[in-house]
Amino acid sequence: MGQGMETTLRSLHWLLLGGWVGSWMFFALVLARVAFQVLPSAEVAGRLISPTLATLHWYGAVAGVALAGLAGLLGRGRLLVVLPLVLAAACLVSELGVTPQLAALRDLAFGPEGNVASAAEYQRFHGISMSIFSAVLLGAIALVVLHTRRETPQTADSA
């Protein structure tokens, strides 16, 4: 592979990975927190958070597959090909499995006819969603570290 092609692939790789980590950190540390602080109700905040999270899930799924492909093209090794695929799958599990459960339970838990059992089930699925989100974010951060280690020249003193 030529130097220009490798530079292009590495640049695309870092843009995708930086976008993934940055957008997920912004969501977790800023957007979700601020939405529930400043919007007039948890329901309104949820209407902002839900489609934003869906966008992040789909980005994670696409970025994970693309990053796996780029890692393969760049010869980064099996772990750096498999890990983003696992993270992409986790994004899809959350979006296609957990999120619909939350949507189905929302009115049963918090609507006018809401009940305690549905609220408890909603909280259980919300905890699963948060756990998957956290695991994906930590996994994406691990990808940054692992890729940085692969790109950092090793000297005799640091080996």
How does pLDDT run across 28-41, given as a tens digit for each residue? 999 999 999 999 99
Q: What pLDDT band is residue 153 in, cutting at 50, 70 and 90?
A: confident
Q: What pLDDT band is residue 152 in, cutting at 50, 70 and 90?
A: confident
Domain boundaries, position 107:
3-150
Count the Cβ atoms, other than its own, within 10 Å of residue 100.
Answer: 11
159 pLDDT above the threshold of 60: no
Q: Tell me, what's the pLDDT at 17?
A: 98
Assigned domain for 158 exists: no
Assigned domain for 113 exists: yes
Assigned domain for 159 exists: no
Instruction: Report the number of distinct structural domains present in the chain.
Output: 1
Assigned domain for 157 exists: no
Assigned domain for 103 exists: yes
Residues in contact with 78: Cβ distance below 8 Å, sequence separation at least 6, in sequence order:
none
pLDDT in tens, 112-126: 888 999 999 999 999
Assigned domain for 156 exists: no
